[in-house]
Structure 1
Amino acid sequence: MKIIRGRAAGGTSEQRTETFTGTVYADPLLRSTDGVTINTVFFAPCSRTYWHTHEHGQLLHVTAGAGRICSEGGPIEELRAGDVVWVPAGERHWHGGGQDSYLVHVAVSLGKTDWEHKVSEAEYTSTIQEQA
């Protein structure tokens, strides 16, 4: 058993730059253990990940703010506090803050993450899928 406190022992907020656009900070909750990495991630408005995939999938739990997520070939979906997203293994996607809102989510990444290229401004600003 492992109890995960609000931050990994000795953890510090890390600004993410190499595979993110804009201002993004991550707080480690669980550094990679048995192929599982858990981070609380803060995205400033319009900040986002690059396109990427996860070897065994990713679970996102939105805890504050509003943002966007998109899988390759699909519409951009709005994210709001309380939403939970499951991204299956190998599904190419990106996620980040809204145009007018920050986003905070807990990201549970399973296995290796394969990072690709930037999400273009045109890809990010496309129309959001209407919520049901």
Structure 2
Amino acid sequence: MRIIPKPATVKNPPEFFTGDVWLDAIAAPQEGGQRMVVSRVRFAPGARTAWHSHARGQTLYVTQGVALVQSRGGEIIELHPGQTIYTPPGEEHWHGATPDDFMEHLAMLENADDPSATTTWLEHVTDEEYRR
């Protein structure tokens, strides 16, 4: 057993996000085959991810604000604090804050066998797609 030092908060890169988004790593893969990744992600109003998918799926748990989440071809879903949503492996989706409020969620997933294949990043969500 060991205490893991807290990494610095990082601002997520603009090639994968629109607007200001910050990430605090909570759990990362460890020796012995543990693949869990958990992060606290904070979105400024109007900020959102690009379209993306995860090799082993992703669970989001909203802690503050109102989240917007959409699967490719689906309706935009609103999530409130205390709500959880699961996106299955390979499902293209995006998530972010509403235009007027900050939003925070815990993002939980499991690394792929090849960690670089855990998340597949696609094109940015357009303003038109976001406003639907």
Unaligned runs of 5+ in 2: 112-117
Amino acid at match of 2:8: T
Q: Size of the alignment, in residue pairs?
A: 122
More strand by share: 1
Residue 11 in structure 1 maps to residue 17 in structure 2: no
TM-score for the superposition, normalised by structure 1: 0.86
The superposition leaves residues 7-32 of structure 1 with CA deviations (integer Å, 9 ceiling, x where unpaired) of x5131110002311100000000123
- For the 8 Å contact 2:35–2:110, the answer to whether it is kept is yes
Amino acid at match of 2:105: H
Shift of 1:62: 0.3
- Which portions of structure 1, spanning 4 or more consecutive aligned residues, are displaced by more than 2 angstroms? 31-36
Counterpart-to-counterpart distance in 2, 1:77 and 1:45: 16
The alignment-based identity, stated in percent, is: 37
Shift of 1:2: 7.9
User: Which residue of 2 is the match for residue 27 of structure 1?
Assistant: 24
Unaligned runs of 5+ in 1: 127-132
Counterpart-to-counterpart distance in 2, 1:82 and 1:46: 21
Shift of 1:79: 1.4
The superposition leaves residues 99-131 of structure 1 with CA deviations (integer Å, 9 ceiling, x where unpaired) of 1111100000223011111000000000xxxxx
User: Which residue of 2 is the match for residue 41 of structure 1?
Assistant: 41
Q: Which residues in structure 2 correspond to 1:53-132 (within 5 Å)?
A: 53-111=53-111, 112-126=118-132
- For the 8 Å contact 1:55–1:89, the answer to whether it is kept is yes
- For the 8 Å contact 1:32–1:38, the answer to whether it is kept is no
Shift of 1:36: 2.3
- For the 8 Å contact 1:67–1:101, the answer to whether it is kept is no
TM-score for the superposition, normalised by structure 2: 0.86
Amino acid at match of 2:22: Y
